Amino acid sequence: MGKPLLAVREPAAAAVTVTDAAVVTRATVDPAGEVFAGHYPGFPILPGVLLVDAVGRAAACWAEAHRLGRLRLAEVRSARFLAPVFPGDELTTECTVSRLDGGGIEVRGVCSTARGRAARVTVRCAAPEPA
């Protein structure tokens, strides 16, 4: 079996907390993730796009818990990367969720490690487009 491509494992059910307007997830950054071979050799850090993905995954957990069905990432409204995330870190993603007209949601997330905030990300999720 090869190395996992995604460096951030799916959060276990016990590592997800959902409330009416928020979701918190915790997951370990897998040191064996293939992404670290090229980002960056000798100084591996988690690519920022995977922090955006972590907010999207947290949004999916919230939507599932609130029976909204499967939502798609429709827009990255903002992303600010504040500090590196390293292999082996526990990544905590804390998000506030607002419902939007038309059934979508806006998610404002903060990704952090034991060293502090690593990113602030705001995304919009919407229902899947019809086939």
Q: Catalytic amino acids?
A: 39
Run of H or E including 73: strand 72-81
- Beta partners for residue 125, in sequence order: 73, 105
Q: Please, are residues 59 and 71 in contact by the beta-carbon 8 Å criterion? A: yes
124 CB neighbour count, 10 Å cutoff: 18
What amino acid is encoded at 66 in this protein?
A: H
Positive/negative CA dihedral, 71, 101, 75, 116: negative
